[in-house]
Amino acid sequence: MPAEITPAVQSGKALGSVMFLDGQGELPMLKVNTAWSTAEIYLHGAHVTHFKKKDEPGLLFMSQCSRFAEGQPIRGGIPVIFPWFGPREGMGQHGFARVTAWELKEFIPAADGSVSVRLQLPDSPEGSAYPPFTAVYTITVKDDLTLRLDVTNNSEIESLTFENCLHSYFEIGDIKEVSLIGLKGAKYLDKVSQFAEKTESADAIRISSEVDRIYLNTTSTVEIQDSRLGRKICIEKHGSTSTVIWNPWIAKAQQMPDFGNDEYLRMVCVESGNVSSNQIILPPGETSKLEVKLSSESL
């Protein structure tokens, strides 16, 4: 796009680039390069599996045991959870978006050096329980990673009720040396204690056993402080009222076929979305926007 090349050269910034490749399992994958970072995005699930700033370890955890196959979710990176979160009777866990091949709509190497990739979920299958909708996911790669999921209710009469969640897996040095900041005072459903309702009392959450919690009505930024890697990760969000924290710990890790026994030590999920009582009821013709910005800096 020559119109974009000129301002980029004038401002002294190199344009980002995108390569279309066969990824693992021969699934189509986009490899993005910018002056600051690299990223990998699978059309399968609109799944970002990799984001790495130059001179920093990768931001996203990926399991060495992940499947890369049609119909199977990828373990790690950022699964897009939509239109439901958790189990659903007679249907798969966490919705169909993460196991569907999304369509590539466009990629934009912009004049500021960033690259945006826009993907769209194919129309929902005939007979689906949902009124017609459009789901568009825009991933912007630069010195940080911004993810935006726009869902439009195309029905003229029916509301669209759904849950969404960007299920980010973060790479950490050691779970025992990590603190999560920003959820003090929030109410949460503790899935490890049969969804008991609790209130977060810690300024800094530390993890030393299985954790699976849905924090409700939470809109603020969460920080992961990782003293082993000497890094702070910021998860800043808009259009999200739920935060899910998950680490499977030892026993669950051993039960998961697509997750290594010791991998719980190097990951934590901090997920941003709208789930459970925070589900979205979208009136006809309206669009909901969920935006998450992931950034990092030295501690």
- Residue tagged 């309702």 (tokens): 197
Q: Is residue 163 involved in binding ligand BG6 (CB under 6 A)? A: no
Q: Which residues, including other chains, have CB under 8 Å from residue 224's CB and lie 6 or more apart?
A: 170, 172, 178, 179, 180, 232, 233, 235, 268, 270
Identify which of residues 61 and 246 has a Cβ nearer to ligand BG6 in the complex.
246
Identify which of residues 32 and 235 has a Cβ nearer to ligand BG6 in the complex.
235
CA trace torsion 83, 86, 87, 93 (10° rounding):
70
Candidate residues 110, 244, 280, 282; the one interacting with ligand BG6 per rule CB under 6 A: 244
Q: Which of 40, 167, 171, 200 is catalytic?
A: 167
Q: Is residue 97 involved in binding ligand BG6 (CB under 6 A)? A: no
Identify which of residues 107 and 188 has a Cβ nearer to ligand BG6 in the complex.
188
CB of 258 to ligand BG6, least distance (A): 8
> Letter for the amino acid at 22?
D
Identify which of residues 11 and 93 has a Cβ nearer to ligand BG6 in the complex.
93
| Active-site residue flag, 197 | no
| Active-site residue flag, 167 | yes
Identify which of residues 200 and 271 has a Cβ nearer to ligand BG6 in the complex.
271
Q: Is residue 271 involved in binding ligand BG6 (CB under 6 A)? A: yes
Pairing status of strand 133-141 against strand 28-33: unpaired
Is residue 92 packed enough to be buried (19+ CB in 10 Å), middle (13-18) or exposed (0-12)? middle
Closest by CA position to 294, among listed 56, 2, 13, 111: 56
- Residue tagged 């890369």 (tokens): 68
CB of 44 to ligand BG6, least distance (A): 14
Q: Which residue's beta carbon is nearest to the bound ligand BG6? A: 93
Q: Which of 200, 263, 271, 291 is catalytic?
A: 271
Distance of alpha carbon 89 from alpha carbon 105, whole angstroms? 32
DSSP three-state, residue 225: strand
Candidate residues 16, 23, 45, 73; the one interacting with ligand BG6 per rule CB under 6 A: 73
Is residue 257 packed enough to be buried (19+ CB in 10 Å), middle (13-18) or exposed (0-12)? exposed
Candidate residues 52, 191, 289, 293; the one interacting with ligand BG6 per rule CB under 6 A: 191
The H or E element that residue 119 is part of is: strand 115-120
Q: Is residue 200 involved in binding ligand BG6 (CB under 6 A)? A: no
Candidate residues 167, 231, 237, 266; the one interacting with ligand BG6 per rule CB under 6 A: 167
Candidate residues 200, 212, 236, 291; the one interacting with ligand BG6 per rule CB under 6 A: 212
DSSP three-state, residue 92: coil
Identify which of residues 2 and 71 has a Cβ nearer to ligand BG6 in the complex.
71
Residues with active-site annotation? 167, 271
Contacting positions for ligand BG6 (CB under 6 A): 73, 93-94, 167, 191, 212, 244, 246, 271
